[in-house]
Amino acid sequence: MKNDRDESLVFTPQYDLSGLIPVVTVDATSGEVLMLAWMNEESLRKTRETGQAHYWSRSRNRLWRKGEESGHVQTVRDIRVDCDQDALLLLVDQAGDCACHTGRRSCFYRSLNSDGRTLVFL
């Protein structure tokens, strides 16, 4: 088996053709997955500079700081990079009890039922 592990210590994020990189955001204390979002170069830079999560909104086509309207700010404890540097994992302290725009703790509040067609609320 070929060993093609990337052992580089140089951060070179691999953005997609739209200039975005997917970001999984997790509660640093509980390990709960809170949301999946996107970052561009500017939002990643602002996140690193301020310590607060900034994302790129594909629907609004603009940069946004998590909590700028709701007050549910995400303070970043750690930014992790996957093996190909084409996805990020944010470990955050979530202010307030919701990360989802629906007012729920997590965006992943539904589960696929055993019939494969029906969603069940968690």
pLDDT of 3 above 70: no
How does pLDDT run across 66-119, given as a tens digit for each residue?
Answer: 999 999 999 999 999 999 999 999 999 999 989 999 999 999 999 999 999 999
Pairing label, strands 21-27, 88-94 = parallel
Residue 55 located in a structural domain: yes
pLDDT of 33 above 90: yes
pLDDT of 2 above 70: no
More confident residue, 4 or 55: 55
Q: How many domains does the chain have?
A: 1
Distances (CA, A) of 81 to 13, 24, 50, 113: 8, 10, 19, 32
- The CATH code of the domain that includes 117 is 3.10.20.810
Residue 109 located in a structural domain: yes
Residue 63 located in a structural domain: yes
Q: How many CB atoms are closer than 10 A to CB 55?
A: 24
Tokens 């170069």 sit at which residue?
Answer: 41
What does the DSSP 8-state code read for residue 107? S
Lowest pLDDT segment from 4-13, 25-34, 62-71, 106-115: 4-13
Residue 6 located in a structural domain: no
Kindly indicate the confidence band of residue 21, based on its pLDDT and cuts at 50, 70 and 90: very high
Residues 6+ apart with CB under 8 A from 49: none
pLDDT computed for residue 8 by the predictor: 85
pTM over the 0.95 mark: no
Query: Please, what is the average pLDDT of the chain?
Result: 94
Q: Which whole number is the average pLDDT over 22-40?
A: 98
Domain that holds residue 46: 21-121
Buried-exposed string 63-76: b where 16+ CB fall within 10 A, e elsewhere: eebbbeeeebbbeb
